[in-house]
Amino acid sequence: MVEHGPARPRFGTAVLLHGFPADHRLMTGAFEPVMSARDGWRRVYVDLPGMGRSVAGARVDSTDAVLDVVRQVVAKIVPSGPLVVAGESYGGYLTQGLVAADPGRYAGLCLIAPAVIAEHARRTVPPAQTLVADPSSYAHLTDEQRADVESIAVVQDARVVHRMHDEIIVGTEIADEAAVQRISGAYTGAFEASPVEHFDGPSLLVARRQDNVVGYADQWALLERFPRMTCAVLDRAGHNVHLKQEVLFTALVHEWLDRVEESLA
């Protein structure tokens, strides 16, 4: 877990949850350039159980178990005061579970390419495609790392590859393999069958047009349950939109935080 900044009066704490099986660097790379430009928000970047520097005991054997741990962590680090949560991919899936369990606790939420359906075979996803390819930009990577880039990055240039390595690949490589396997075996959370019915806090959904991991079509169902949700589906963006569409991503997150701060005021 990594923490930045104090929470000032009228503001609060943002808890940020990464994807599977990366670590907090996925979220610090995406959000810290935005959050550090604002005054007043405490940011807590969590390493999920079995990922990054977080240890996972044998009881962490499912998404439901991961969610229980996250709920305990959130209750401990933010016992009171304004609280928002942001999650990317699997972190976005867990974010939906957090809000379903206690919708009144959160002042806002942000979902970045969230999984809505855990089982990949049931997701509606576009075919994998590459819009920009520069093989020389990842010639220095291992075969396994290169395969990760080629399978998920819609734009494969030197900057994207560098950030993928430093913010995503290095995290996945240190994950607890046994814990990842246990969680993968019970990946669907109970909250998927009983999602939050109504959440009226300021919300943001950023999806990717070329996202072949979680897609974008399944996310439309969220709009009916989140009446204050801004939704953006970005072109020229695979599963990790912030790596290439930084300008749009930054603007959308700032606008979401503006709305949250307005509602807190």
Q: For residue range 143-164, list pLDDT tens digits in order.
A: 777 666 666 666 667 777 888 8
Q: Which two tokens stand for residue 249?
A: 């991503």
Output the domain CATH number for residue 192: 3.40.50.1820
Residue 132 lies in a domain: no
Band of pLDDT at residue 9, cut at 50, 70 and 90: confident
pLDDT of residue 142: 78
| C-beta separation of 229 from 92 below 8 A | no
On the question of pLDDT at 113 being above 80, the answer is yes
**258 falls within a domain:** yes
Q: Which two tokens stand for residue 166?
A: 């430093």
Residue 58 has pLDDT above 80, yes or no: yes
Q: What is the pLDDT of residue 146?
A: 67
Beta bridge partners of 221: none
Is the model's pTM score more than 0.75?
Answer: yes
Cα 236 to Cα 38, 48, 126, 151, 233: the distances in Å are 28, 29, 13, 15, 10
User: Average pLDDT, stretch 193-202?
Assistant: 93
pLDDT at residue 18, rounded to an integer: 98
Q: Does 93 fall in a domain?
A: yes
Which H or E element spans position 43? strand 42-46
Q: Which residues, other chains included, contact 264 with Cβ-Cβ below 8 Å and sequence gap of 6+?
A: 10, 11, 12, 82, 107
**Do residues 234 and 207 make contact, with C-beta atoms less than 8 angstroms apart?**
yes
Let me know if residue 149 belongs to a domain.
no
Per-residue pLDDT tens digits for 221-249: 999 999 999 999 998 877 776 777 889 99
77-91, 128-142, 215-229: lowest mean pLDDT where? 128-142
Count how many domains the chain has.
1
Inside any domain, residue 83: yes
46 vs 129, higher pLDDT: 46
Domain boundaries, position 183 = 2-125+176-264
52 domain-assigned: yes
pLDDT band at 178 (very low <50, low <70, confident <90, very high): very high
What's the 3-state SS for 173-235?
CCCCHHHHHHHHHCCCCHHHCCCCCCCCCCEEEEEECCCCCCCCHHHHHHHHHCCCEEEEEEC
| pLDDT score, position 243 | 76
Q: What are the tokens at 141?
A: 């990577």
